[in-house]
Structure 1
Amino acid sequence: MSSALIIIDLIEEIVGEHGRSNSSHQQVQARRLIPLTNQAVAFARRHHVPVIWVKVGFADDYHDIPPYSPLFNLAKKNGALRLSDSGCQWVKDLDVQPEDEVVIKKAISAFAGNNLYDWLTGRGYDHILLGGVSSLMAIQSTARQAHDLGFKVTVLEDLCAAASPELHQQSMQSLTPLAEITTSMQWQEHSAS
């Protein structure tokens, strides 16, 4: 089984202190998501597991948003999530390296509006490890779609956050029939053995 690590939406607009869509900001801080993510991606690189950073973002005129989405039409109204703005930059202190893959998504799932599926399958990756925000939206949506596309899915729950601990836990529980729920440390210990 060949694995890839996918980290979703750790951008200023969504997890930064002053982001316009940052309902998970406090939980990202409380759960130490950025340092834990950096540790996990460093481990992945050392073990030749590709690191794929996925972020949502749109053109300045928003011609590429899902047209009937209340969520993304609110972002348009607020002027949020434009790829040309600083809000779509990776959050401070996140260890994104030039050798990593960066994918832009056009909706909630990491697979929305891009070639991520083709990139993974074309290189023989059949197991995805997920982290990022929010547990309720992007992690659930991506895990469900990945499951249906035929991937083995592992959610690194300590690398995920939602607006509240309760929403995070509910999200993890709802994914247990579709994915392995574990922690980044357990994954690292298992992979190293």
Structure 2
Amino acid sequence: MKRDRKYVSFYYDTTEEFPEIKLDPKKTALCLVDLQNEFVLRDFGEALAFKEAGEWEKWIPFHDRLDQMVIPNNKRLLDFFRANNMTVSFGRIACQREDGEDRSPVQKTEGWNNMLLHVDSFAAQMVEPLTPKANEIIVNKTTDSVTTGTNYLQLLRFMGIETVVVTGIVTDQCVASTIRGLADEGLKVICVEDACAAGSQELHDAELKIMNLIYCDVLSTDDTIELIKKYLP
């Protein structure tokens, strides 16, 4: 499969041919990361805080990308995985205690990562139209990575999963941490570039360039679906 040279880094800039991506749909899972009401909605959660702080203007491109590209592409992937009876999973920031004392230290620290989303709150739920259905796995985390401090890796092993297709927000934080965690555990990872977003396009592109061909294969939604179709019975 041809790769988008936009995401080929210094380490591979002289490489012309890349290995073919092979997968088994029965052993492939989709993982949507942190696409929650708190972070996605324009009239709730973080968006209201940005508006109150006078910082909303710089976040409009992020929300435009979410509304116009990321959410629709995640819905396409969800529909495709569901239609083909493939494994669907969700990683979300959510604590068990209302006071947030079960959160990791990084999420108790003042600053960007300080967030308290109780598992039952509206803020913690996956945004419409990406609501989980029965029989789909929801992993609650108080860390960046879906793999750290959770049983996600164990669940993947129990189900015989070998490849994980990762989407979500933000590319340079929770998405990247999840991809690295999966790769370090020996799983093959596909990051769907137009189903992810970072605070800025610059951060998004830089992180994908860093991870591509080392920790994951960076593909578009169209290419990901076409790749899986090639291996469907």
TM-score (norm 2): 0.75
Q: Which residue of 2 aligns with 1:40?
A: 77
Q: Which residue of 2 aligns with 1:148?
A: 184
1:119 aligns with 2:126: no
- State how 1:1-193 maps to structure 2 within 5 Å: 1=24, 2-17=27-42, 18-20=44-46, 24-30=62-68, 32-58=69-95, 59-67=97-105, 69=106, 71-74=107-110, 80-176=116-212, 177-193=214-230
CA displacement 1:105-132 (0-9 Å, x = unmatched): 1200011222110100111101111000
Checking the alignment, whether the CA contact within 8 Å between 2:119 and 2:140 is kept in structure 1 is no
Checking the alignment, whether the CA contact within 8 Å between 2:108 and 2:115 is kept in structure 1 is no
Can you give the 5+ residue segments of structure 2 that lack an aligned partner in the other structure?
A: 1-23, 51-58
Q: Once the 2 structures are TM-superposed, how far is the Cα of residue 95 of structure 1 from its aligned partner?
A: 4.2
Write out the 4+ residue segments of structure 1 that deviate beyond 4 Å after TM superposition.
Answer: 21-24
Can you give the 5+ residue segments of structure 1 that lack an aligned partner in the other structure?
A: none
Checking the alignment, whether the CA contact within 8 Å between 2:100 and 2:116 is kept in structure 1 is no
TM-score (norm 1): 0.89
Question: C-alpha root-mean-square deviation of aligned residues, in Å?
Answer: 2.2
How far apart in 2 are the matches of 1:78 and 1:153?
Answer: 28
Secondary structure, aligned partner of 2:195: strand
**AA at the equivalent of 2:66:** V
**AA at the equivalent of 1:20:** E
Change (3 A) 1:162 1:64: same
Larger radius of gyration: 2
